[in-house]
Structure 1
């Protein structure tokens, strides 16, 4: 797996990878992460990855973290 680059963001860590004829967009916040895989043939250049990780796509991913954190908290509370 090769790191293409990082996208600075104040609320999460965003890393772009190339691996096995796919690009991976990995978004991490606290102890939760989301990874999106995009076949290389879907894009004309790596620079398009940076265009994808803007606006509504990133807003949706960040909003999704709340639900993921709630699910994990609920599951951990059942262990008590």
Structure 2
């Protein structure tokens, strides 16, 4: 997997990789991470991948991190 770049934003650490014909977008917040894969055939390049990551998408990513943290917290309580 080849690191391409970090994508600056105000929400969370976002890194872009390329591997096996796919762009891999990795979001990190503390101990949690989310990964999305996009086929290189579905986009024209790195710029288009970045343009896909709008505020609405980041809002869903952040909500998912909150849900993940809540689920993990409950798991540790049991």
Q: Which TM bucket (shorter chain)?
A: over 0.9
CA distance in 2: counterparts of 1:59 and 1:30, whole angstroms? 17
* TM-score, normalization by structure 2: 0.92
More divergent stretch after superposition (7-16 vs 56-65): 7-16
| Superposed displacement of residue 8, structure 1 | 1.8
Structure 1 stretches lacking a partner, 5+ long? none
Q: Does 1:21 align with 2:32?
A: no
Which residue pairs with 1:6 in the alignment?
Answer: 6
Runs of at least 4 residues of structure 1 off by over 6 A?
none
CA distance in 2: counterparts of 1:49 and 1:21, whole angstroms? 14
CA distance in 2: counterparts of 1:17 and 1:73, whole angstroms? 30
| Superposed displacement of residue 58, structure 1 | 1.1
Residue 44 of structure 2: SS of its match in structure 1? coil
Cα 1:64–1:44 shift into 2, 3 Å: same
Residue 10 of structure 2: SS of its match in structure 1? coil
CA deviations 1:30-60 (Å, max 9, x no partner) are 1100000111100012211110112211111
